[in-house]
A and B are shown apart, each in its own frame.
Chain A
Amino acid sequence: MTVDLGLLIVAGALAAAGAYLIMERSLIRMLFGLMLVGNAINLLIITLAGPPGHPPIRGRESDGQTADADPLAQGMVLTAIVITLGIAAFVLALSYRLFVINRRSRETPPDLEPTSTESPQDDDLQDDPEDVKIATGSLQGFGDRDRSDDPLTGADTVAGDLFDDHGNPLTAEEFEAVHAGVIETDLMPEDAELIAHLAETDDDMPGDTDIDDEEDDR
């Protein structure tokens, strides 16, 4: 099987340029990259379908060649062109929308420092949320955390329910108010003595052992 080396080199160059553009951050450039790679693959299909010069009509002769041209490859390329065109139209609409959204959010200061040193484009894609989470996350924001954490040690303890979000101890009345109308689970310390004890001493924290003792006394 003979192949047209010139066309293959063109296809390779197009694919390389397209691959480079797909690595960009800006959506428009990525779209150009997609179209370049798409064209490269279309050229590839045409090239691989056989040497040029075959007659397109069955049973005819063209320049001494009697084999028919392959209609399948041409049909494939036509379909691929149409699909790429439709997707390109959609991506153009999407990038315009992204542009508007980014413009709007540009007026409000961003939460994060831009990660790239280049000046950001208006149709840039977002950072990967997982990366952002790893870069900015803390143990406090972790899904397993709730208000039962001891405000000082961070350990899970029932006494943690007796503190508000800032680690200040609650009085018995405040505790009642916070937990009013809440489905009671068996995690709540029902020991009024302990609540009172915590409310009057700001620094002296009972450990879990104290609580166990209280429960034993009961």
Chain B
Amino acid sequence: MIPQPSWITVLIVLPTLAPMLGAALALVRGRSPSFQRAISVTAISVALTASGMMLYLTSVHGPFAVHIGGWGARDGGDGPLGITLVVDRLAALMLVVSTTVLLCVVVYAIGQGIRDGTTEQPVSIFLPTYLILTAGVCNAFLAGDLFNLYVSFEVLLAASFVLLTLGASAERVRAGASYVMVSMVSSLIFLAGIAFAYAATGTLNLAEMAVRLDDVPDGTRNALYAVLLVAFGIKAAVFPLSTWLPDSYPTAPAPVTAVFAGLLTKVGVYAIIRAHSLLFPGGTLDTVLMIAGLLTMLVGIFGAIAQTDVKRLLSFTLVSHIGYMIFGIAVGSLESTSAAIYYVAHHILVQTTLFLVVGLIERQAGSSSLRRLGGLIASPLLAVLFLIPALNLGGIPPFSGFIGKVALLQAGAADGSVLSWILVAGSVVTSLLTLYVMARIWTKGFWRARADAPEGDMAASTPSALVEEGTDVLLDEREDVGRMPVAMVVPTAVMVVVGLALTVWAGPIFEFTDSGAHGVLDRNVYIGTVLGTGGGR
């Protein structure tokens, strides 16, 4: 085993610790908006830098594990007792993509906040909460034991409750109430799953549990697996556990919706990958997962077709494309897992970008309803910013969506079972319908003259802002209506470019996800890293 560099212990806690400390500092100096902005950007940049270094280290040395507080082994050498943080290639890739997205969105949110007039009235709670959310997301990717995973879920959920109900306007509170309840039910199911798993194995550490679960009877194993899958499935919005998502996300401010759409569901997907490959290998519930993935794709995209509001429509496409990842996980081969990992990275970037663009559209036109939008082509920059991620989501070559989908289809075809072929067909149909939906936004929102929109004259509403309800500025009272602040455009453009980078460097990235998938599927590497019994390529 390659000896770990001593500073990996510092590196591995930074993505969690830096945002946490940043949140504390930002709360202390809540009266100073400029300080809050500086500390937020700094903290997330630190997390991004640490993630990037870990990405390099894992690609060279293989996975690393750190036992916090040195609780590595009991005196009998009986496995880890305390909190373990593990970073392998998959976790490092997720961290880098997530922190990139979080950094872009925080700059966007700051830009929007200045534009919405928060310079005079700072919403002193937004940025600290956002940093706590960052810490929760990063910790979820690093958690090496089930209970730590539960705690990081709770951290990011508690932060997301506050962000979703910012300003406490009527619709946000109504949407937030059901979101809180659904999230808490999923957390309780997860906690029950932890209780059962602990009773069955006597440990919480993922690696040790994976070893001990081999001796557990099959029926008990499958019951545990099912409980955990339901809990993760609610978080990842897998049909039939997905109906809460389109009702709760669209009411939030644009940057909040963008982060939620990009990251929160993917944390659930990441947990499903871990459970599927590490704890319960052998694919006992793969058929269930496949059918769930197929239904998620189709029901989600049919829901999107019926929407008039762009934000709701994108929420449905988000649900729909979770199905692709579930498909990739359920096939369970090296190629499909690699494709699923690539698809997760692609989807985080693209879905977030689209929500940011919708924020710009709201800013520009005062509405996100297709019945009121029109003539957006007047701003070619906005049109380009929308069109690239939209085509990317629809899977048009040469963009990364196409590459990821093709890889998934190849893996499904290589699997060759009847169900896989059905799923391949379903994927193609979903992809085409996604393209149809995106084309509709394009023709209605961009090409059509505003006078032709059925309610085109009713669009002078207040865009959902980061400030409280009473301080909203009506669209037609804004001085610079129809102009987009640079601080909102630049992060969106950066996100588009990063999404394109996934296309340009698809080859190296696919090599990386291949080795990542190998590390995910070959449990012994992970287990050996954590338990110190060799391993670590």
A interface residues, Cβ below 8 angstroms from B: 22, 27, 30, 34, 37-38, 41, 44-45, 48-49, 72-73, 76, 79-80, 83, 86-87, 90-91, 94-95, 97-98, 101, 104-105, 125-126, 128-130, 133, 141-148, 161, 165, 178-179, 182-185
Contact = CB atoms under 8 A, between A and B. Distances in A.
A27 B175 CA distance: 12
B288 interface: no
A48 B200 CA distance: 9
A37 B188 contact: yes
Interface in B63-92: 81
A3 B447 CA distance: 68
Interface in B128-185: 147, 151, 154, 158, 161-162, 165, 168, 170, 173-178, 180-181, 184-185
A143 B371 contact: yes
Interface stretch (B9-17, B29-37, B191-199, B417-425): B191-199
B315 to A, nearest CB: 11
B440 interface: yes
A185 B454 contact: no
19 contacts: A41-B188, A41-B191, A48-B199, A49-B198, A86-B158, A87-B161, A90-B158, A91-B177, A97-B173, A98-B173, A143-B306, A143-B371, A144-B440, A147-B453, A148-B452, A179-B449, A179-B451, A183-B378, A185-B449
B247 interface: yes
A145 B454 contact: yes
A44 B192 contact: yes
Contacts of A79: 147, 151
B243 interface: yes
A185 B448 contact: yes
B449 A183 contact: yes
Given A94-B180, A101-B173, A48 B452 contact: no
Contacts of B81: 72
Given A41-B192, A101-B170, A105-B170, A128 B243 contact: yes
The 8 closest A-B pairs by CB, nearest first: A143-B308, A48-B199, A182-B449, A126-B174, A143-B370, A101-B170, A45-B195, A147-B452
Given A125-B174, A130-B247, A91 B195 contact: no
A143 B194 CA distance: 45
Contacts, number: 131
Contacts of A142: 306, 308
B450 interface: yes
B182 to A, nearest CB: 10
B247 A34 contact: no
Interface string B364-390: 000000110001011000000000000
A177 B107 CA distance: 42
Contacts of A101: 170, 173-174
Contacts of B158: 83, 86-87, 90
Interface string B228-249: 0000000000000001001100
Interface of B: 81, 147, 151, 154, 158, 161-162, 165, 168, 170, 173-178, 180-181, 184-185, 188, 191-192, 194-196, 198-199, 204, 243, 246-247, 303, 306-308, 313, 370-371, 375, 377-378, 440, 444, 447-454
Given A49-B198, A178-B451, A183 B377 contact: yes
A2 to B, nearest CB: 12
Given A90-B161, A126-B175, 5 more contacts: A104-B170, A130-B246, A142-B306, A143-B313, A185-B449
B198 A73 contact: yes
Contacts of A38: 188, 191
A209 B313 CA distance: 35
B307 A143 contact: yes
Contacts of A148: 452
Contacts of B178: 125-126
Nearest to B184: A34
Nearest to B316: A130
B109 to A, nearest CB: 22
B454 A41 contact: no
Contacts of A80: 191
A180 to B, nearest CB: 9
B174 A98 contact: yes
Contacts of B188: 34, 37-38, 41
Contacts of A86: 158
A120 B160 CA distance: 28
B375 A94 contact: no
Contacts of B377: 183
Contacts of A90: 158, 161-162, 180
Contacts of B440: 143-144
Contact of A76 (B174, B181, B194, B378): B194
A50 B246 CA distance: 43
B369 to A, nearest CB: 8
Contact of B448 (A27, A126, A146, A178): A146
A165 B198 CA distance: 64
Nearest to A70: B202
